[in-house]
Amino acid sequence: MTKREFFKRITEIENLDADLLTMAKKELERNKPTKTQLENIIVKKNIMEYFAGRSSKVVDGEGEITEIKFCDCASEVAEHLDISTQKASALLRSLTEQEFLTSEDIKVKNSGHKMFYTFNKFDENSVIR
C-alpha cells in the first residue's frame, strides 16, 4: 500500500476525528503524483494496449476456445512505443508487479537471457498505478 492509498482510506472512514481528517487531506494534497508519474501511467496504458491488441482467441474445429498470448521483450516494446529500453523495462516490471503482465526469463541463442512479458489481464475496471 502506498502512502497516498493509506491517506485516501483514512479520509473514507466515517466518524473520523476532524483533526485526523484534516491532516490526511493535507497529506493527500502534498503527495500528488509528479508530472513524470502521470506520463508513465499513460505509457503503461499504451503498453497494455500493445499487448492486448496482439493477443487473440482461436476456436478449433471442436468449438474449444484457446487464447494465444503475445510475448515480447523490453527492447521490442521500447521500439514500438518509441521510448528507451530502460524505461520500457522499468514500466514492464511495474506492470508485472501489479499482475497485469507475467514475465519469464528465456535463454536466447547468441544473446544470453532475456526477460519476456506476456499479457495477463486488463479490463475497464483495472487501475494502473
Find out whether 111 and 103 touch, Cβ atoms under 8 Å: no
What's the structural domain count of the chain? 2
Report the CATH number that the domain containing residue 126 is assigned in CATH: 1.10.10.10
Nearest alpha carbon to residue 44 among 94, 84, 9, 3: 94
The partner residues of 81 in beta bridges, in order of sequence, read none
- Residue 116 and residue 75 in one domain: yes
pLDDT band at 79 (very low <50, low <70, confident <90, very high): very high
pLDDT digits (tens, 9 = 90+) for 26-70: 888 887 888 998 999 999 999 988 887 776 666 666 766 666 666
- Residue 75 and residue 125 in one domain: yes
Q: Which domain holds residue 21?
A: 1-32
